[in-house]
Amino acid sequence: MGNCMSTNKKASRAPDDEQFEVAIIGGGICGLILAIGLLRRNVKITMYEQSRSFREIGAGVAFTANAIQCMRLIHPGIVDALKSVATSNGDPNDPNDYLQYTDGFNQKEGEESKILFKLYAGYRGFEGCHRAHLLDELVKLVPDNVVQFRKRLDRYTDHGDGGKLKLHFEDGSSAEADAVIGCDGIKSKVRQVLLGEENPASYPTYSHKCAFRALVPMDRAAAALGDEVAKNQRMHYGPSAHILHFPVAHQSLMNVVAFLDDPTERSYSSKLSEPGSKQEVVQAFANWGPTVRTITNLLDDEMDKWFIFDTNDHPAPTYASGRVCIAGDAAHASSPHHGAGAGVGVEDALALSRLLELVTDSVNNNTQISKQEALKAAFAAFDEVRRERTQWFVSSSRMICDVYELKHAETGTEMQKMYEEIKWRSHAIWYFDIDGMLHQVEDQYKGRLNGDKIPKSML
């Protein structure tokens, strides 16, 4: 690549040619955090969001200590935003930093809910919050003038002449940018255009699991379950189903998610959720232990029923093509069983923030590097470093659900084997080498600009 560069590019540039503009498609948590990171690094951006305003679907979301450290490196204000709405396990003044697992099925009448094993997640290593509350705080870090609403992407075009990429929206309008990053979620249009509409990897597939999500007022939950259970994260596992709950909204709500099998076939183009009923959940857990049955009886009569799609069956063969890339759920939508999908998206945002910072340095300080070449190198580096880890994460999330539900061939119903499987997979997520990733993306980027062949990153 370096041998083909003209030595007088810098001298022939117009004043604005050294700058570049990035279009971020999608204004969810991942897109907003990336936007905040790029703005901090003086990268010019425009964000295009299909809705009328910023909004997040779902209820609770949680971040471990490692994800929070990634946030801090992107922009300390992101951590401040999280802390303002986050809720720790247990006593806020003495948080419980463990994730806890119980046998929700075999508990006998009159027995207390016993913790069978637990995992240390780091100091304040499990910060839960309501998605919408976090989004409201993140929005405050993004200037209004960089966001355009009601812009649903139809396609983008690259004429291959090194000029601007053109974005075409469903309302008939268009825009231009030097690079495009798709943060447009599980049904990503950017992924469909990047990989091709005939490619199965362009679309998520149904995992045959559904989830009932609800928020229970904490006073009701604590009265029925006791403070110790209600105000701490608990995973209640059992045959072919499991229930997770943790506190949100400064301990005023208990976020509950009940996972059930769903043998029906569903298309990615159908709705991801529909109204669900308390009765369906109560019936599914009717033969479980008293704690789980008490939780199901706390639910409202009506709640959301979510159908869990992911990219496990057809993972993307690449996250980048030229000056276009995909990140977060757009690249590697996962089932929620590790409870870390948002955190892995934050890792993506940190990698891209660093790479585009390197692009700025390159085009400002090297007369032989064009912004087009630098952007292509950055996105290729992102794909190389991030794809293996994130696709492992998607696969592991499916597998860990089988462990929780006593269906995994190697662990079965043996508690010690379950513990070891959950532990090593969780630690691979929580104790990720952030500095190592940053060194990898920098080495990959610089190697591509120099025309070097870079060995496959070790994740």
Just list the catalytic residues: 213
Positions of E strands within 262-321: 273-277, 302-310, 320-321
Rg (CA), the chain: 23
- Which residues pair with residue 46 across a beta bridge? 23
Distance CA 217, CA 380 (A): 47
Which residue blocks in 41-169 are alpha helix, DSSP H? 65-74, 76-85, 131-139
Which residue blocks in 286-370 are alpha helix, DSSP H? 290-298, 329-332, 341-365
Q: Using CB atoms within 10 Å of the CB of residue 408, give its burial: 0 to 12 exposed, 13 to 18 middle, 19+ buried.
A: middle
* Adjacency order of strands within the sheet including 174-177: 153-157, 165-169, 174-177
Instruction: Indicate the DSSP class of residue 87.
Output: B
DSSP H/E element including 129: strand 127-130
* Alpha-carbon dihedral angle through residues 198, 310, 185, 340, given to the nearest 10 degrees: -150
Distance CA 97, CA 189 (A): 38
Dig out the tokens for 244 from the structure: 């997770």
Task: State how far Cα 136 lies from the chain centre.
Answer: 17
Positions of E strands within 317-385: 320-321, 324-326
> Shortest CA distance to 342 belongs to which of 51, 64, 40, 80?
64
Contact between 378 and 351 under an 8 Å Cβ cutoff? The reply is no
> Shortest CA distance to 386 belongs to which of 459, 278, 450?
459
Place of tokens 């009506």: 302
Which residue blocks in 103-247 are alpha helix, DSSP H? 131-139, 189-195, 218-225, 227-230
Positions of E strands within 262-366: 273-277, 302-310, 320-321, 324-326
φ/ψ (deg, to 5) at 75 = -170, 120
**3-state secondary structure (DSSP) of residue 326:** strand
Distance CA 372, CA 249 (A): 44
> Shortest CA distance to 212 belongs to which of 264, 246, 245, 259?
259
- Can you give the length of the chain in residues? 459
